[in-house]
Amino acid sequence: MQITAGMVKELRERTGAGMMECKKALGETDGDMDAAIELMRKSGQAKADKKAGRVAAEGIVITLVSDDAKQGVILEVNCETDFVGKDSNFQDFSQAVAALILKQQPASVEALMATAMNGDETVEVARQNLVSKIGENIQVRRFECMQSENGMLGKYMHGARIGVMVELEGADDDLCKDVAMHIAASKPVCVDESGVAPELIQKEKDIFVAQAEASGKPEAIIEKMVEGRLRKFLGEITLLGQPYVKDPDKTVAKLLSEKSSTAVSFHRYEVGEGIEKKVENFAEEVMAQAGKTA
């Protein structure tokens, strides 16, 4: 039976084991998912299987920049609780992974997990060992490698939960940090209007047109109203159009112009963004347990 990438992915999600281990187990069981899980449990490769299904929406963001400010990495590693997110073992693992990414420049999370970390031990094996030691689901969720040929990279961390890496040309460390701090606070989605998806612009324009037409004003006035609202919308979501947090009387574009600097790109990570967290209801849990024992 042909072992597909989808089958390997499902087994990884159900066991928390590495990609190669999952592929091997599926091959040995002729693609039988349950048999593969049983085989891996017997061999000790699926020690983290019960933990792999738990939601890991806490954790840490790490930013690293090379000494010459030409290379950098931003990384998010997740765990289940804020308590473990502050654990030294978890933080040491995350820092080591970030340093490995900066050195090896892997192309994807999958490639990273298969990379040797400690001797012959891969990142995936180190992750599994940490899961067994700490007792929580731990996931290396995402990372971005950045390189700057004509400028420099700068970073800013807001605690351990929000991290930003920015690339500027014609800047220094202080300006990079200030712009990164602004991005952390104001959450722009892209550098300028050219980075906004045309579909998003059209969607917002359609909404503004409908709102303006409801006012009953002449078509010429409606057109100006829509242009004004669209301009305001783009200013709110683009880095260059936003009021600078340290001086709201000027935009970030104005700040950079005064410094003869240019914004090239940025990445902003916040721990757990986009992950649906399970909302625990303690009262309901107690009642459920009481019902079971009644």
How do the domains of the chain map onto residue ranges? 5-52, 55-147
Long-range contacts of 201-210, Cβ-Cβ distance < 8 Å, separation of 24 or more: 201/230, 201/234, 204/230, 204/233, 205/230, 208/233
**CA 255 remoteness from chain centre:** 28
Write down the pLDDT at residue 212. Answer: 82
Helix axes 19-28, 33-43, angle to 10 degrees: 120
Write down the pLDDT at residue 61. Answer: 97
> Under CATH, what is the fold of the domain 55-147?
Tetrahydropterin Synthase; Chain A (3.30.479)
Write down the pLDDT at residue 120. Answer: 82
Which helix or strand (DSSP H or E) is residue 165 part of? strand 162-169
Flag whether the pTM goes above 0.85: no
Which helix or strand (DSSP H or E) is residue 94 part of? helix 88-104
Write down the pLDDT at residue 290. Answer: 59
Write down the pLDDT at residue 18. Answer: 73
Write down the pLDDT at residue 253. Answer: 97
- Name every residue whose Cβ is closer than 8 Å to that of residue 20 and which is 6 or more positions away in sequence: 114
**What is the residue-level pLDDT of the chain in tens, covering all 294 positions?**
889 988 988 887 777 677 888 889 999 999 998 888 878 766 666 555 555 556 678 999 999 999 999 999 999 999 999 999 999 999 999 999 999 999 999 999 999 999 999 788 999 999 988 998 888 889 999 999 999 999 999 999 999 999 999 999 999 999 999 999 999 999 999 999 999 988 988 888 888 888 888 888 888 888 888 888 989 999 999 999 999 999 999 999 999 999 999 999 999 999 989 876 655 554 655 555 555 544
> Under CATH, what is the fold of the domain 5-52?
Helicase, Ruva Protein; domain 3 (1.10.8)
Tokens representing residue 131 in the block: 């899961």
**Nearest Cα to 79, choosing from 129, 137, 125?**
137
- Name every residue whose Cβ is closer than 8 Å to that of residue 247 and which is 6 or more positions away in sequence: 255
CB 48 within 8 Å of CB 130: no
Residue 267 identity (one-letter amino acid): H
